[in-house]
Amino acid sequence: MFILTVEVDGESLTTDDIILVARRHRDVILAESAKEKILRSREVVESALRDGLTVYGVNTGFGDLSQVSIDRKDIQRLQVNLIRSHSAGVGDPFPIEVVRGMMVLRANALAKGYSGVRVEVVETLLEMLNKGVVPVVPQQGSVGSSGDLAPLAHMALVLIGEGEAYFKGDTLAGSKAMKRAGIKPVTLEAKEGVALVNGTQSMTAVGILAVHDALNTLRDACIAAAISLEALRGTRSAFDERIHSVRPHEGQVDIARVMRLILDDSEINRSHADCGKIQDAYSLRCIPQVLGASLDTIRYVRSVLEVEINAATDNPLVFSDDGSVISGGNFHGQPIALAMDFLGIALSELANISERRVNRLVNSHLSGLPPFLTTEGGLESGMMIAQYTAAALVSENKILSHPASVDSIPTSADQEDHVSMGTIAARKARQILDNVKNVIAIEYMCSAQGIDLLAPLEPSDALMKAMNVIRENVLKLEDDRSLHGDIAAIRELMESRSIVSAVEEITGFLFEE
């Protein structure tokens, strides 16, 4: 079903909705039900001001300065100062898709009605999304304690007509971008600055995009593994349904079923039916156990993110049912930090086992194929260095997989004395995923070459579909050439889901997300 608009109500936003907004630029609207909740929470803030109550973030300083009271005449200035002072990020900017994800997530959190902002704050944020004004947000600077303070502050700068923004292909001053788009910047009132910057939307946006891509990459990992097994003339016995039924981890069972579907029957398999081989190396035999565990992990991480998407994560929280304004710590990124570290580890394993299959393919002592997958070994090096590249990437991933969440460093004069490092964990997971995609692309390249070297024998029907897509874009290696372009071309086929789609024409949908 084609979705024209995505509605935010603080309760029902999905990962698919975020992908639609972040990548496909779907328009976003604020639900009428959310407006009433926002109005009620705003009235609590206004009432507190009228009654002269002291409320953190409304008429006090922030962090270790929370004991400093602010005069009513300075409340607007307090909120603007917060946004300006917290815009201290550095490094390369987040991709536009990540910032768009941040914006819809923050709007959704405010739409829950626990933040005490005015409706126009949320509507202006959505208007920016719909008209293509995307803040420039540096990636580095968040420790994930009071959420993603620096990244969200850079986002909020443009909302108030400052900072920098992308608009129609240009990078402009925030004020110019808003003017060109015909959007009136927001003049912040009490509580609104702190409501915009307290939250986990940077780490969550990165995480949602990474999980979406991880599931697609896992499908490619299954297909590449199956092509390798065919090229190495491996046995299918390890995928027998009975084996996995007595150790019924959901992911393992699913991947074993996928392997049976993809491999089905083939000339290559029949050619070595009586070879006497009993079992293969672990990188072939344990595909369901290893890839299945990663699938279970990705599904778990997605379940954590699905909770966070519709959570109230700022501070203090405003409860309109009884007029309470309560300070707490829902901005702390620990749930996301742990999940992102787990995701990075699970993704690293996809590349680790893939590289071992690449090694078997290029090693004639293990594969029974020509050395380095070339028929003129010595004169030509074939795919020797492709395995080096895969080895370098998996080694880099081992460093990146060290958990960010086990680290903490105090901030705000020790008021914030335990932090999550959730955004660092999310950024690392995204970088690991990028490396994994390249390793899988290398496995596709090498395994396809292995299949060609077994000609005229053919693999299963599903894998012939995959081979045809690969060979339409990357020719068989006959003479040494630069492999960089071949790897990049296969990576593009992965990004477009071309290989997966071709296989699924035969097998049907490989696995449920």
Rama region for 69: left / alpha / beta (φ>0; ψ in -120 to 50; rest): beta
Chain-centroid distance of CA 210 in Å reads 1
Q: Which of 56, 114, 166, 444 is catalytic?
A: 56
Q: Is 344 exposed, middle or buried (0-12, 13-18, 19+ CB in 10 A)?
A: buried
Residue 131: CB partners within 8 Å, gap ≥ 6? 181, 182, 183
In the Cβ-directed half-sphere of 73, how many Cα atoms lie within 13 Å?
0
With tokens 């049907």, the residue in question is: 508
CB 8 within 8 A of CB 104: yes
Which two tokens mark 14?
């999905």
**56: annotated active-site residue:** yes
Q: What letter does residue 411 receive in the DSSP assignment?
A: B
With tokens 């595909």, the residue in question is: 287
Edge-to-edge strands of the sheet including 170-173? 134-135, 164-167, 170-173
Q: Is the dihedral of CA 273, 276, 282, 286 positive or negative?
A: positive
Strands 27-30 and 5-8: parallel
Q: How far is Cα 102 from Cα 108, in angstroms, rounded to an integer?
A: 10
**Residue positions annotated with a catalytic role:** 56
